[in-house]
Structure 1
């Protein structure tokens, strides 16, 4: 009995009708499958294009005396930055910097960063900072976080992938 069922199955698969139906891939399934994969890839590229790429550097900063008696809210002053593991190559635009100490956090902008380092590995940075909170950090060494916006995630990925 079992042998006969096996023969029937094998006979059914050998018929021309069954072979044509089983061997044919439905064209609509292929078309919609490729379309779905294309839409998903397009969405991923769109998300990567609109996500900003932010680099964050950390280290310690030495804040020397704040220049003179000023009656403004913000001041431009030079601080010495010693980066930790990695350091930025070049600042092409203003970057945000946060000085952190026991007395609080001060947010400012770096206007320029010197390429040259002193013998202790520190670089001079010209910063625009709020005056009153900086008075609490005067003549101290504090931690800092430097944040650079460098385009979007898609351009960063392709620049690293293609070595540009």
Structure 2
């Protein structure tokens, strides 16, 4: 009887030891799988951040390129001054300085104030739908239809 009891106890202890070892190995495999998944998740996050940074840099490059491609800055000082006939403001208007985004009155957009010989004054050809308008000693690039001011070239005339 003692032998049977001892054998049963030994078998029970062996089974328990094997079960504990199996549970420990299962636990370690389980942790390893989660660690592996978290590592991949971190890699994906890093890749996502890299893509975002790359897209942001591309956006900045495109923005800079567009700014360089614009023919005119919003406000610039003329590098050279030209002599032109005396300026007379339209009736009811005084000489004033214009700025980007304002609208010129329709009277300024008549032939008396439009600068058609822009090559003579070192100006580039205006984009389609725009024209140069003289206002005092300045030249303003404005839309033909609505008079919206796109650029101001200050001090072009003496």
Bin of the TM-score, shorter chain as denominator length: 0.3 to 0.5
Structure number with the higher strand fraction is: 1
Task: Give the TM-score normalised by the residue count of structure 1.
Answer: 0.31
TM-score by length of 2: 0.32
Query: Which has the higher relative contact order, 1 or 2, with Cα contacts under 8 A spaced 6 or more apart?
Result: 1
Normalized per residue, the structure richer in helix is 2
Structure of greater Rg:
2
